[in-house]
Amino acid sequence: MQQIHLGAIDYAILIVYFGFVLGIGWFLRRYIKSSEDFFLSGRSIPTWIAGLAFLSANLGAQEVIGMGASGAKYGMMTSHFYWVGAIPAMVFVGIFMMPFYYGSRARSVPEYLKLRFDEKTRGFNAMTFAVMTVFSSGISMYALAKLLELVLGWNFHTSVVLSAVIVLAYIFLGGLTSAIYNEVLQFFLIVLGFLPLVLLGLKDLGGWSGLKEKLIPVATSAGYAPGAWSDSWRHLGSASANPMGVEWFGMVMGLGFVLSFGYWCTDFLVIQRAMAAKSMNAARRTPLIAAIPKMLFPALVIVPGMIAIALHNSRGGLLPLGADGLPNYNLAVPTLLAHYLPTGLLGLGLTALMASFMSGMAGNVTAFNTVWTYDIYQSYIKPGQSDKHYLRMGHFATVFGILLSVAAAYATTRFNNIMDMLQLVFAFVNAPLFATFLLGMFWRRSTGHGAFWGLLTGTAAAAAHHGLTLPHGAAAGLKGGFLGTVLHTYPSEMAQNFWTAIVAWTVCFLATILISLMTRPNKTDEDLKGLVYSLTPRQVDAELVWYRRPALLGVIVLGLTLVLNIIFW
Amino acid sequence: MNLDLRFPIGGLFTIVGILLTAFGLVSDHAIYAKSLGINVNLWWGLVLLAFGLVMLTLALKKGGSSAS
């Protein structure tokens, strides 16, 4: 694509923003006195801040660039990642799971597993999570540097170093609080930076109906029904009727139930934000408050991708073509920024883009340093030290977490779509995990051995399923089929990933039940108080004002989501 | 925590709003061809400025401490 030249005003906005980012870290440094301050913000974060941070901690590369890319590649069906996936899962975690996470006073998700099950389950989760966060943070860094190189002509290595140093500086100074405060700042920046882009694009194409009209030839030329790019549910009857190549069952179960619940309910990266909230009620409302802006995010991140493909198709080659002759979907959003925004607003848009990458990175690094320090270092390497020692370790872990991310950034290989790759990693590790938590929290008979071996079996099942199947048209290797024989060919990579998740979840669920029944419970009812549903006193919210009642908020959120699903059916 | 987050949010968007509005007033209109002839810097700058000022006002008023 044509490189963008930034003017003085663009650089001015960029510099002002990074001034604020570093300023927040600098200001907060004096409040970091204990490890709890550094890793959990002293459990004192106001609800609205925790909620927005819960939302934007995951607003990294996969969200802004990946969802824009999917919007161009698959159209409106991408909204399922929100309206079937994220939102119901966020409601579930707020209402049903947060009482155990927050109530147990566990300092991390792996620590909850130790309290509920045993040491080995925690160890397994802590290790895989640590690897995954470093990997995710590396992908964010890689994608940001690659993008800046392509769009602005900045040197790849300089971008990596610069983003690493900025993220390092503000986490090192202010710990989780600094990361959370900056995530909220980034949230507003992303909304206010991308909104003009969407408004201009829609105005240009004649509003939503104009966009839908321009998407008809995109769909028909690819051999689908005219509405395939602008409807979310209508073409899910069979996998061959939509560009995503999935049918409704795989979508609802794979993406909705397994992957999204697995991510939003068990990933410490987001749970950490709620754990930092100032009270149980605040912690439970954190994901619910996050869900409200989250359900509107398709307008900000998916619609730009749809606008880009519509323009590409109707006005001739907006998007640069990749080596395979297809448009380079990952450039949909940056290309659109350059297409509509003049210098000035362009600086704001690019700053928002960089902010989103850095919040993705920072979120992973803060989750990593906590799990490393509490669940790996304190548990296995050097237990029984003073709090000061662990606080120092936290600072140190931040530094090497970032160094490892840099290494991962350089090691990151290319997929056509970043989202597909992340889904793959989540499918192996996260999909079985949700079964473990579900059984752990709601079935008191599940045992430590059951959880651990169930998780291992589930992860192995994920790998085996992936190794025995292939997406249509792909060669055996990273994309699957590496076990030699290919038992089944899926219409798309996305469908294969969803089914890998379904298989992993089911195997883990059944294996955990089976092994639990064969082994003796390793915890007494007294141990499990506050950790398991049937042994924990119910949360009483009836006397609270309506907007403080999690269950009522959850119903409202789900109702609104249902309306959105129907409008864009 | 002793930092009301509305201060930095308000401060950031007030400054960026002023920068964009001022740039919108002095910039050559030719650059707005790509934004459909609309001086988006001026108008969006004013939106950001208004948002920033609202945030700062809320922080200064401290209405009901740090809003839960």
In whole angstroms, what separates CA A29 from the centre of its chain? 28
Contacts of A42 in chain B (CB under 8 A): 1
Q: Distance (Å, rounded) from C-alpha A113 to C-alpha A120?
A: 9
pLDDT tens digits for A392-415?
888 888 998 999 888 888 776 555
First-to-final CA distance of chain B = 13
Chain B: nearest CA to A264, how far in angstroms? Answer: 23
pLDDT at residue number A229: 81
A24 → chain B, closest CA residue: B8
A422 SS3 class: helix
Contacts of A16 in chain B (CB under 8 A): 12, 15-16, 19
pLDDT tens digits for A267-304?
888 888 888 888 888 888 899 999 999 888 888 888 99
Closest partner residue to A345 (CB to CB) among B13, B20, B66 is B20
Contacts of B19 in chain A (CB under 8 A): 9, 12-13, 16
Do the chains contact at A348 and B34, CB–CB below 8 Å? no
Q: Is the pLDDT of residue B18 over 90?
A: yes
Q: Distance (Å, rounded) from C-alpha A558 to C-alpha A554?
A: 6
Contacts of A319 (CB under 8 A, 6+ apart): A1, A72, A308, A309, A312, A327, A328, A329, A331, A332, A335
pLDDT at residue number B67: 43
Q: C-alpha angle A444/A446/A449, rounded to 5°? A: 145
Do the chains contact at B3 and A28, CB–CB below 8 Å? yes
Q: Judge whether A45 is closer than 8 Å to chain B, CB to CB.
A: yes
Do the chains contact at A185 and B12, CB–CB below 8 Å? yes
In chain B, domain spans: 6-61
Q: Distance (Å, rounded) from C-alpha A20 to C-alpha A245?
A: 44
Closest partner residue to A192 (CB to CB) among B34, B38, B48 is B48
A471 SS3 class: strand
Q: Distance (Å, rounded) from C-alpha A316 to C-alpha A112?
A: 54
Over residues A477-497, the mean pLDDT reads 80
Q: Percentage of residues in chain A with pLDDT exceeding 90?
A: 12
Rounded to whole angstroms, what are the CA distances from A180 to A104, A130, A216?
22, 19, 42
pLDDT at residue number A455: 92
Least confident of A189-203, A230-244, A376-390, A419-433: A419-433
Do the chains contact at A42 and B1, CB–CB below 8 Å? yes
pLDDT at residue number A461: 92
Contacts of B63 in chain A (CB under 8 A): none
DSSP A18-74: HHHHHHHHHHHGGG--SHHHHHHGGG-B-HHHHHHHHHHTT-SHIIIIIHHHHHHHH
- The amino acid at residue A270 is V
Question: pLDDT grade, residue A425 (50/70/90)?
Answer: low
Other beta carbons less than 10 A from residue A416's beta carbon: 17
A321 SS3 class: strand
Q: Judge whether A545 is closer than 8 Å to chain B, CB to CB.
A: no
Contacts of B11 in chain A (CB under 8 A): 20
Tokens of A95: 């209402």
pLDDT tens digits for A507-538?
999 999 999 999 888 888 888 887 888 777 77
pLDDT at residue number B64: 46
Q: Is the pLDDT of residue A259 over 50?
A: yes
A490 SS3 class: strand
Q: Distance (Å, rounded) from C-alpha A73 to C-alpha A159?
A: 28
Q: Residues A473, A245: contact at Cβ < 8 Å?
A: no
Backbone phi and psi for residue A328, each to the nearest 5 degrees, phi listed first? -80, 95
A114 SS3 class: helix
Q: Mean pLDDT for chain A?
A: 85
> In 3D, which of A233, A228, A229, A259 has the Cα closest to residue A495?
A259
Tokens of A567: 């409008």
> In 3D, which of A235, A124, A233 has the Cα closest to residue A491?
A235
B6 SS3 class: helix
Q: How many Cβ contacts (< 8 angstroms) between chains A and B? A: 94
pLDDT at residue number A15: 92
Do the chains contact at B9 and A184, CB–CB below 8 Å? yes
Q: C-alpha angle A264/A268/A274, rounded to 5°? A: 75
Q: Is the pLDDT of residue A13 over 60?
A: yes
Do the chains contact at A192 and B38, CB–CB below 8 Å? no
CA dihedral in degrees (A458, A423, A303, B17; nearest 10)?
110
Do the chains contact at A28 and B47, CB–CB below 8 Å? no
Question: pLDDT grade, residue B68 (50/70/90)?
Answer: very low
pLDDT at residue number A348: 92
pLDDT tens digits for A192-209?
999 999 999 998 888 888
Q: Is the pLDDT of residue A137 over 70?
A: yes
A94 SS3 class: helix
Tokens of A64: 């802004």
- State pTM to two decimals: 0.88
Chain A: nearest CA to B60, how far in angstroms? Answer: 17
B37 φ/ψ sector (left φ>0, alpha ψ -120 to 50, else beta): left
> In 3D, which of A413, A336, A359, A367 has the Cα closest to residue A140?
A359
Contacts of A278 in chain B (CB under 8 A): 68
Q: Where in chain A is the domain with CATH 1.20.1730.10?
A: 8-412+544-567
Do the chains contact at B9 and A41, CB–CB below 8 Å? no
Do the chains contact at B34 and A341, CB–CB below 8 Å? yes
**Which residue of A6, A9, A48 is the best one to mutate when testing the B interface, meaning the one whose CB has the most B CBs within 10 A?**
A9
Q: Residues A143, A61: contact at Cβ < 8 Å?
A: yes
Rounded to whole angstroms, what are the CA distances from A455 to A358, A375, A428?
31, 18, 10
Q: Is the pLDDT of residue B1 over 80?
A: no
Do the chains contact at A184 and B48, CB–CB below 8 Å? no
Question: pLDDT grade, residue A555 (50/70/90)?
Answer: confident
Q: Percentage of residues in chain B with pLDDT exceeding 90?
A: 43
- H/E stretch holding A469 reads strand A469-471
Q: Judge whether A345 is closer than 8 Å to chain B, CB to CB.
A: yes
Chain B: nearest CA to A103, how far in angstroms? Answer: 19
Chain B: nearest CA to A229, how far in angstroms? Answer: 25
- The amino acid at residue A380 is Y
CATH superfamily of A8-412+544-567: Sodium/glucose cotransporter (1.20.1730.10)
pLDDT at residue number B45: 92
Q: Judge whether A223 is closer than 8 Å to chain B, CB to CB.
A: no
Contacts of A343 in chain B (CB under 8 A): 27, 31
Q: Is the pLDDT of residue A498 over 90?
A: no
Q: Is the pLDDT of residue A422 over 70?
A: no
Over residues A32-47, the mean pLDDT reads 83
Residue written as tokens 């749809």?
A306
The C-alpha R_g of chain A, in whole angstroms, comes to 23
| Burial label, A20 (beta-carbon count in 10 A; 0-12, 13-18, 19+) | buried
B49 → chain A, closest CA residue: A192
Chain A: nearest CA to B56, how far in angstroms? Answer: 14
Q: Is the pLDDT of residue A417 over 60?
A: no
Q: Residues A233, A569: contact at Cβ < 8 Å?
A: yes
Q: Distance (Å, rounded) from C-alpha A234 to C-alpha A244?
A: 13
Q: Judge whether A282 is closer than 8 Å to chain B, CB to CB.
A: yes
pLDDT tens digits for A56-105?
887 876 678 888 888 888 888 888 888 888 899 999 998 888 888 888 88
Q: Is the pLDDT of residue A2 over 70?
A: no
Closest partner residue to B44 (CB to CB) among A16, A20, A345 is A345
Contacts of B24 in chain A (CB under 8 A): 344
Q: Distance (Å, rounded) from C-alpha A65 to C-alpha A366?
A: 22
Do the chains contact at A16 and B15, CB–CB below 8 Å? yes
Other beta carbons less than 10 A from residue B30's beta carbon: 8
Do the chains contact at A181 and B5, CB–CB below 8 Å? yes
Backbone phi and psi for residue A469, each to the nearest 5 degrees, phi listed first? -125, 165
- H/E stretch holding A488 reads strand A488-490
